[in-house]
């Protein structure tokens, strides 16, 4: 990965930050994208100081679907290229299906699925211009495989993400673009802090996870390195679940 440039959305914290830092430690220069400029700058400084690699930070909201292509073009112009795309940015909504408003539904679908499509399209168009293929990694969820109550919008988006990953892998193989996904189990981040604090929910998670703990964002780095590197050149259209054994348990 030495000398490659990896763009990681949602790269200022949590899973996105861990993957960005992990790729940098393997020799990639990094572009991180998120909404909060202060968090982005703190993440940029930390990754750069720990890895010695070049790190760029771009603040914009991926919920603004129509602006994504322009932002991607700006990133390419300022960095001179993107070789690896990691789509990690997302949002969730915990609400029973009968109570979800159309506005809420659209927000979750657009952020977790539509924005990924548009980012992938921009990446594909750029890589076709410069040649040489590329790597796309989409961050899925256990909800790519199954659902639980209050996850209708999120599970629908993540289920769609897996079929998008497979379809792009099939269509873009001719461009030598590998498209894969990582499905995290329950990972301890800011977004799941309330769930971790819920004693009953925490007990349920631990009972369902053979390794007996919540995952850490750093647990996903190995899979990301595999899929982003030459070691993953013959892997495409796959989802690797990093879940502590969750899906293996009957």
- The count of other CB atoms within 10 Å of the CB of residue 158 is 26
Mean pLDDT of 79-91: 95
> Does the structure show a pLDDT above 90 at 191?
no
> Does the structure show a pLDDT above 90 at 132?
no
Place of tokens 């073009």: 73
94 phi and psi angles, rounded to 5 deg? -105, 100
What Rg, from alpha-carbon coordinates, does the chain have? 17
**Structure confidence by residue, pLDDT tens digits, 8-35:** 999 999 999 999 999 999 999 999 999 9
In sequence order, which residues have a C-beta less than 8 Å from that of residue 26 and are 6 or more positions away?
1, 2, 225, 229
**Structure confidence by residue, pLDDT tens digits, 214-228:** 999 999 999 999 999
- The count of other CB atoms within 10 Å of the CB of residue 247 is 13
Task: Using pLDDT thresholds of 50, 70 and 90, give the confidence band for residue 185.
Answer: very high
> Does the structure show a pLDDT above 90 at 94?
no
CATH number of the domain residue 77 falls in: 3.40.50.720
CB 180 within 8 A of CB 168: no
- Catalytic annotation on 154? yes
Q: What is the structure's pLDDT at 147?
A: 86
Range of the domain at 185: 5-248
pTM, two decimals, is 0.96
Residues facing 178 on adjacent strands: 135
Q: What is the structure's pLDDT at 1?
A: 82
Q: What's the structural domain count of the chain? A: 1
Q: What 3 state SS string does the chain have?
A: CCCCEEEEECCCCHHHHHHHHHHHHCCCEEEEEECCHHHHHHHHHHHHHHHCCCEEEEECCCCCHHHHHHHHHHHHHHHCCCCEEEECCCCCCCCCHHHCCHHHHHHHHHHHHHHHHHHHHHHHHHHHHHCCCEEEEEECCHHHCCCCCCCHHHHHHHHHHHHHHHHHHHHHHHHCEEEEEEEECCECCHHHHHHHHCHHHHHHHHHHCCCCCCECHHHHHHHHHHHHCHHHCCCCCCEEEECCCHHHCC
Structure tokens at 89: 């940015």
Catalytic-role residue among 126, 154, 186, 241: 154
CB 70 within 8 A of CB 41: no
């Amino acid at each position: 990965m030495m000398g490659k440039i990896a763009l990681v959305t949602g790269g200022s914290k949590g899973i996105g930050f861990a993957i960005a830092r992990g790729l940098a430690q393997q020799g990639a220069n990094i572009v991180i994208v998120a909404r909060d400029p202060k968090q982005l700058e703190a993440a940029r400084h930390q990754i750069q100081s720990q890895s010695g690699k070049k790190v760029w930070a771009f603040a914009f909201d991926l919920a603004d679907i129509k602006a994504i292509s322009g932002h991607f073009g700006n990133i390419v112009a300022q960095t001179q290229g993107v070789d690896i795309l990691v789509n990690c940015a997302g949002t969730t909504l915990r609400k029973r299906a009968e109570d979800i408003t159309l506005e809420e539904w659209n927000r979750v679908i657009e952020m977790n699925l539509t924005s990924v499509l548009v980012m992938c399209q921009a990446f594909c168009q750029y890589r076709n211009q410069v040649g040489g293929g590329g790597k796309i990694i989409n961050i899925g969820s256990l909800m790519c495989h199954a659902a639980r109550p209050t996850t209708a919008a999120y599970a629908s988006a993540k289920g769609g993400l897996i079929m998008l990953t497979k379809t792009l892998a099939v269509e873009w193989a001719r461009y030598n673009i590998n498209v894969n996904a990582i499905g995290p189990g329950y990972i301890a981040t800011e977004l799941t802090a309330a769930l971790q604090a819920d004693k009953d929910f925490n007990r349920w998670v631990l009972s369902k996870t053979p390794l007996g703990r919540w995952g850490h964002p750093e647990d996903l780095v190995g899979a990301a390195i595999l899929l982003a590197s030459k070691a993953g050149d013959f892997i495409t259209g796959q989802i690797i679940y990093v879940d502590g054994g969750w899906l293996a348990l009957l």
